[in-house]
Amino acid sequence: AGQVLRSTRTPQQILRWLLAAGLLCFLVSMAIDTSTWPAAVQGILSGWSLCPAVKRIWTPTWAVFSSGWTFWFLAAFYWSIDIRGWKRWAWPLSVVGMNSIAMYCMSQLMRGWTRSSLKTHFATLDSWLGLEHGLQYLLVDCPYAPLLERTAVLFVFWLICWWMYRQKIFVRI
């Protein structure tokens, strides 16, 4: 994909290539594992699988299937940013992209600590404000607590990346 993006092809040719590559990845993964088929056609070869798509152990089928999504997301970003010129909305993604290694390390090493710290501080803030169903409720008892909790942790990590971006601190290999 990188070579195609850097080639002398027209933007429309690049976009078509990315979309076709994504479709090809989906078709190959569906040929290897029938569980990825839409429910309407799953009865034809139900249960047949050369190699199941298992994300946890990154089977070849999963790698090809996720590559299809990656090609399609790249095509969408290429279309909106490079072809259409809509760049402003992507700034938060650029902040993370400039320190993607730092973001990855934080998510692997600091996720649990950040989650528990947020819960502790939100509980303290709720007690100071005298709120019964305040911020702590959103991270613990609310039906959407897992989603809100992960979003809050992501936002904290994004703020750290934003600070690094503003200080021109970029972690590179």
Q: Are 52 and 2 in contact (CB under 8 A)?
A: no
The whole-angstrom separation of Cα 59 and Cα 82 is 33
The identity of residue 140, as a single letter, is V
Q: Are 49 and 32 in contact (CB under 8 A)?
A: yes
The whole-angstrom separation of Cα 24 and Cα 115 is 39
For the ranges 70-84, 106-120, 135-149, the lowest mean pLDDT is seen at: 135-149
Predicted TM-score (pTM) of this structure: 0.69
Average pLDDT over residues 76-98: 93
Among 55, 68, 1, 57, CA closest to 29: 68
The whole-angstrom separation of Cα 98 and Cα 86 is 19
Whether 155 shows a pLDDT value over 60: the answer reads: yes
Please count the other Cβ atoms lying within 10 Å of the Cβ belonging to residue 164.
17
